[in-house]
């Protein structure tokens, strides 16, 4: 028979054990109770960084909680995505998902993660790429770029935010269809690309209208079937004779296993933020309007994109040998 003191200890231990789930549940119900880190898998200055900071500002107001943006560039975004995957699935580390790091890089090389390693909270934007040059560039059209590439094999220099990113794939698809070649120069961020474009280290690159407007670059064409409302004078790639669609999309994701309470709070905050006049006022001048999908739709979309671009990457012979 247990002594009175031992019996009391046993009862106390059992009570503590029984209370543990309630304590955890209460902590989750109070989410968020501290600052949240948002990992951006690219350096500062590009579309991803710009859109992440706008999203962080409006999510902070909707939650409410402080959201700190942390740039983790490198390997076409795979470094930041890997850090996000390894973070605790507690809702206090989230990330900006972008097409390149989430679905393109894992189709090209072994990254140690796939889209299945993340919980998808919401999609927030989708915008077609533009081909752009400096204002004083001799290239006045896509036809000029292709003509130069054909006449000077391998001498047309173009930048991207990394090997296997959509910025890279869009140009490779164009060169493939045109029967031309160009020299790819990868960068860690769009900010670095702009610097070298201005310095004549590269001749052209594909990015979003956000970058074109911010840095006063001259767009040559948009990678979609229809012209953009904000750029009525910029022709589409299709008008130039090439069938290519390439849109940069992004959204909020988290490490797999996000608590139900955290997922609900983040998804609700995302919907509130994107439907607000304040958010629209921030993104529409950048020609990157809100594009909302809830968690289930965003997860299904990522799966479809992984399959589609995975097949394309194989066809173009861009899968790296292990």
Which CATH number is 48's domain given? 3.40.190.150
**Would 15 be classed as within a structural domain?**
no
Q: What is the largest CA-CA distance in the chain?
A: 95
Note whether 152 and 212 are same-domain residues.
yes
Note whether 223 and 152 are same-domain residues.
yes
Note whether 77 and 177 are same-domain residues.
no
77 touches 100 (CB < 8 A):
yes
The rounded distance, in Å, linking the Cα atoms of 284 and 275 is: 13
The rounded distance, in Å, linking the Cα atoms of 315 and 102 is: 19
Note whether 94 and 160 are same-domain residues.
no
**Would 296 be classed as within a structural domain?**
yes
Note whether 251 and 123 are same-domain residues.
yes
Q: Which residues of 80-101 are buried (b: 16+ CB within 10 A; e: fewer)?
A: bbbbbbebebbbbbbbbbbbbb
Query: For 279, phi and psi rounded to 5 degrees?
Result: -65, -45
**Would 275 be classed as within a structural domain?**
yes
Of 207, 240, 273, the domain-final residue:
240
Of 190, 210, 240, the domain-final residue:
240
Residue 84 lies in domain:
36-127+247-316
Helix (H, G, I), strand (E, B) or coil at 238: coil
The rounded distance, in Å, linking the Cα atoms of 316 and 318 is: 6
Note whether 82 and 135 are same-domain residues.
no
For tokens 């046993």, the residue is 10
The rounded distance, in Å, linking the Cα atoms of 156 and 144 is: 11
Note whether 200 and 155 are same-domain residues.
yes
CATH number of the domain to which 183 belongs: 3.40.190.10
Note whether 90 and 224 are same-domain residues.
no
171 touches 203 (CB < 8 A):
no
Of 217, 240, 263, the domain-final residue:
240
The rounded distance, in Å, linking the Cα atoms of 183 and 215 is: 23
**Would 14 be classed as within a structural domain?**
no
Strand partners, 125: 250, 290
Instruction: Count up the domains in the chain and report the number.
Output: 2
**Would 256 be classed as within a structural domain?**
yes
**Would 11 be classed as within a structural domain?**
no
Note whether 123 and 134 are same-domain residues.
no
Note whether 262 and 293 are same-domain residues.
yes
CB-CB neighbours of 12 under 10 Å = 10
Q: What is the pLDDT along the chain (322 residues), one digit of tens a residue?
A: 555 555 555 555 555 555 544 444 444 568 999 999 999 999 888 888 999 999 999 999 999 999 999 999 988 889 999 999 999 999 999 999 999 899 999 999 999 999 999 999 999 999 999 999 999 999 999 999 999 999 999 999 999 988 778 899 999 999 999 999 999 999 977 889 999 999 999 999 999 888 888 899 999 999 988 899 889 999 999 998 998 989 989 999 999 999 999 999 999 999 999 999 999 999 988 788 889 999 999 999 999 999 989 988 998 888 988 7
Note whether 165 and 224 are same-domain residues.
yes
**Would 4 be classed as within a structural domain?**
no
């Amino acid at each position: 028979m247990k002594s009175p003191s031992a019996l009391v200890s046993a009862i106390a231990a059992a009570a503590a054990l029984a209370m543990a789930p309630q304590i955890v549940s209460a902590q989750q119900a109070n989410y968020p109770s501290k600052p949240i880190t948002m990992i951006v898998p690219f350096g500062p200055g590009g579309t991803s960084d710009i859109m992440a900071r706008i999203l962080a500002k409006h999510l902070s107001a909707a939650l409410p909680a402080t959201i700190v943006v942390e740039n983790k560039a490198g390997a076409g975004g795979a470094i930041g995505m890997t850090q996000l995957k390894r973070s605790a699935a507690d809702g206090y580390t989230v990330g900006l998902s972008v097409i390149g790091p989430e679905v393109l890089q894992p189709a090209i090389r072994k990254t140690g993660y796939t889209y299945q390693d993340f919980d998808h909270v919401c999609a927030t934007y989708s915008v077609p790429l533009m081909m752009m040059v400096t204002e004083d560039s001799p290239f006045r059209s896509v036809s000029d770029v292709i003509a130069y590439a054909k006449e000077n094999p391998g001498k047309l220099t173009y930048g991207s935010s990394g090997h296997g990113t959509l910025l890279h794939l869009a140009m490779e698809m164009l060169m493939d269809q045109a029967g031309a070649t160009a020299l790819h120069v990868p960068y860690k961020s769009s900010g670095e690309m702009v610097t070298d474009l201005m310095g004549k280290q590269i001749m052209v690159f594909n990015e979003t209208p956000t970058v074109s407007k911010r840095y006063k670059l001259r767009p040559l064409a948009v990678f979609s079937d229809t012209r953009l409302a904000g750029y009525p004078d910029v022709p589409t790639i299709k008008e130039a004779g090439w069938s290519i669609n390439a849109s940069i999309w992004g959204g909020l994701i988290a490490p797999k296993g996000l608590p139900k309470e955290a997922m609900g709070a983040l998804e609700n905050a995302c919907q509130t933020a994107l439907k607000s006049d304040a958010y629209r006022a921030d993104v529409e001048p950048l020609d990157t309007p809100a594009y909302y999908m809830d968690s289930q739709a965003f997860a299904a979309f990522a799966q479809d994109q992984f399959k589609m671009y995975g097949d394309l990457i194989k066809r173009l012979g861009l899968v790296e040998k292990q």
